[in-house]
Structure 1
Amino acid sequence: MRVATYNTELERKGPGLLLRDIAKGDDPQVKAVIEVIKAADADILVLQNIDYDLTGAALEQLVRRLDDYPYSFARLPNTGMGTGLDMDGDGRLGGPRDAQGYGRFSGQGGMAILSRYPIVEAKVQDFSELLWTDIPGALLPEVDGAPFPSAEAVAAQRLSSTAHWVVPIDTPLGVVHLLTFHATPPVFDGPEDRNGRRNHDEIIFWQQYLDGAYGDVPSDRFIVIGDANLDPLDGDGLKPAIRSLLRDPRLQDPSPTGAAGTDTADWSDPTPGNLRVGYILPSADWQVVDRSVMWPWPDDAFWDVVQEASRHRLVWVDLNGG
């Protein structure tokens, strides 16, 4: 069974624009993303940075173009969800950083799952409404010992910048639980390190979840999968979060590689360079058969396609029941 994660960067600057671009059939980026997805040939695919709309029309159009995934799942993300508060401390209201997660409109840059196998929607666990203050040991932002930007803002802030889902899928290898998320970048803030701290806690959440802090936990055949927006070695951010997750004995790190090693994103113009931010971490009971980052060499014919599609590269892992 091939499982994949891909930050498509299909988000658009206004509602309905992604639906327009997919439906018209000639958008270069959309065509490139579809080509990458088809080349990966994954049985289960987790997508980030794909706009959510209430009727699911954009995702439906994408599924129709792919013609390979009878099952799909998406819910309203925290991105662009208004709070009515100044969440970033700039003294203004209604900006994209004043939402529960960065976004110009509600649903911008959400998440979705595509699958060849049935998704057990009735048993999905959605932790996206969990308040940041409610997680054990939360690294809440402060300036001079005071909550940043205000006690009211901190009290209203959800942990998930996009979403945290546990999604069961009924596969030929048994029910598989996807523990999926898209964490905020640990940058674009000030000395309070609001985004860096939130990124840390969004990642640490999964270890707390596996510890049983938030309810029932699958005993086997689960996969932490998504965009952590944190490299264990390079770039900004609080590295202990991702290092701890990678070392967790309940998980294994297949370390998929491409032409840029284990890196999965190309931010080389001009900084911070290539980073590993996309992860597939199967539970320890899986047998890893193969893995890859779809990052071809520049002289490969597929190079132009992946460059057109996204600054991120699709990551896949082949798994057997163990």
Structure 2
Amino acid sequence: MRIRVLLSCALLGLVTAQPATAQSSVGPAKIRFSTFNASLNRSATGQLVADLSTPDNAQARKVAEVIQRDRPDVLLVNEFDYVPGNKAADLFRANYLRRGQNGARAIDYPYAFTAPVNTGVPSGLDFNRDGRSDGPDDAYGFGLFPGQYGMLVLSKYPIDLGGVRTFQNFRWKDMPGAKLPDDPATPARADWYSPQQLEVFRLSSKSHWDLPLRVGRQALHFLVSHPTPPSFDGPEDRNGTRNHDEIRLWADYITGKAGYLYDDKGKRGGLERGVKFVIAGDQNSDPVDGDSAPGAITQVLGSGRVIDTKPSSRGAVEAAKEQGGANLTQRANPRYDTGDFNDNAPGNLRVDYVLPSHGLIPLHSEVFWPLKGSPLARLNDTSDHHLVGLTLLVLAW
């Protein structure tokens, strides 16, 4: 009864939500979750630290301004190179987020989480069959150096480090019914990778993280990832099939089908029934357009466990119309696009998601994509992705 009353009050605007602080204990809390592929990756190890060591990097200032104007309480940043010890994260917070950018108010995140990812980690094997085993496509995830295209989570809520689960080392072949790529030139099935390669091939191109956030006396799980783009391959579709199964990992994790799954500490299984969560990240999969395998993102959207608020923007509609090309023949409504990609192919797509579980109450959501005539349109070239934000009412207890 109490939940029904609070829900009704929330919809009528009668609930005064507590501020998003670690001290929130009992009662509803209004919390904003956002995801932003900020393209803060660099071409060489150490370059991101160098760029963030002063407050003068033009791109980092733009990224920080977008974040400051959205003002999320919990944020996933995709394509933020991993540097051990949170060094790059600390520099970004100190030199950019805690300094107001272009009239935007400074913002502080007391908690940050980064961890190793598979991008750029050498495998010593020829995964792409180009005759060499030391290229960026032969790493466990495409990358020029270990940690490139990594992830960063910033939070105003404490992260329960003892409860964190990472899935960097889970092998693709250990997923039952894995959609392994097939060499179309041979009669055998699912044989692009040799048995030797499958013994070590990791499913996650970066990593999958389950981060429990302490909201009052409960844990709200932030499930974050960045599956590989379903392109840059051949008819074997090795990236498309991998993207599909990287998304499937979360679908199985939240629906009780992950008995096969083991994390990097050896713990098996997925989320327990009734646990509240938010899935976030650049999933590189549009529900109907683009190159991803059919039904890839629908595995999560149609799982029955998440609420899809379909964040939108008028800026995306304007961009699709003006840019033309593939955008003119796409089936999806461009208002939901989050990525501004090549106009000829694939065109603009919806690939970035913030998806709350049932039991959380969405208040409003949107894509940060200002109209061309807006003073903030200068931020549209910050990245080829646009920030997606969702404000939730969380009934903390």
TM class by shorter chain equals over 0.9
| 1:9-88 mapped onto 2 (5 Å cutoff) | 9-64=39-94, 65-67=96-98, 68-88=108-128
Quick one: which amino acid aligns to residue 226 of structure 1?
G
Q: Is the 2:86–2:113 Cα contact (8 Å) retained in structure 1?
A: no
Q: Which residue of 1 aligns with 2:165?
A: 125
Give 1:87 deviation, angstroms: 1.1
Give 1:312 deviation, angstroms: 0.5
Q: Is the 2:368–2:387 Cα contact (8 Å) retained in structure 1?
A: yes
Q: Which residue of 2 aligns with 1:302?
A: 376
Alignment CA distance shift 1:188-1:216 (3 Å):
closer
TM-score by length of 2: 0.78
Tell me if 1:227 matches 2:282: yes
Quick one: which amino acid aligns to residue 76 of structure 1?
P
Tell me if 1:217 matches 2:285: no
RMSD across aligned positions (CA): 1.4
Give 1:184 deviation, angstroms: 0.2
Q: Which residue of 1 aligns with 2:346?
A: 272
Q: Which residue of 2 aligns with 1:252?
A: 307
CA distance in 2, matches of 1:225, 1:206: 10
Give 1:216 deviation, angstroms: 4.6
Q: Which residue of 1 aligns with 2:181?
A: 141
CA distance in 2, matches of 1:269, 1:53: 34
Q: Indicate the larger mover: 248-257 or 149-158.
A: 149-158
> Could you say what secondary structure the match of 2:340 adopts?
strand
| 1:154-169 mapped onto 2 (5 Å cutoff) | 154-169=198-213
CA distance in 1, matches of 2:87, 2:168: 22
Q: Is the 1:33–1:306 Cα contact (8 Å) retained in structure 2?
A: no
Tell me if 1:6 matches 2:36: yes
Give ranges in structure 2 of 5+ residues lacking alignment. 1-30, 99-107, 262-268, 317-334
Give 1:269 deviation, angstroms: 4.4
Deviations 1:46-86 (A, max 9, x none): 11000011232111101212130000001000111111111
Q: Which residue of 1 aligns with 2:22?
A: none
How many residue pairs get aligned? The number is: 321
CA distance in 2, matches of 1:301, 1:86: 49
Quick one: which amino acid aligns to residue 18 of structure 1?
L
Q: Which residue of 2 aligns with 1:317?
A: 390
> Could you say what secondary structure the match of 2:296 adopts?
helix
Q: Is the 1:140–1:154 Cα contact (8 Å) retained in structure 2?
A: no
Within the candidate set 136, 140, 144, 1:104 is matched to 144
CA distance in 1, matches of 2:68, 2:58: 15
Q: Is the 2:49–2:91 Cα contact (8 Å) retained in structure 1?
A: yes
CA distance in 1, matches of 2:343, 2:119: 26
Tell me if 1:177 matches 2:221: yes
TM-score by length of 1: 0.96
> Could you say what secondary structure the match of 2:41 adopts?
coil
Greater per-residue strand proportion: 1
Highest CA radius of gyration, 1 or 2?
A: 2
Alignment CA distance shift 1:293-1:173 (3 Å):
farther
Give 1:174 deviation, angstroms: 3.2
Q: Which residue of 1 aligns with 2:292?
A: 237
Give 1:239 deviation, angstroms: 2.6
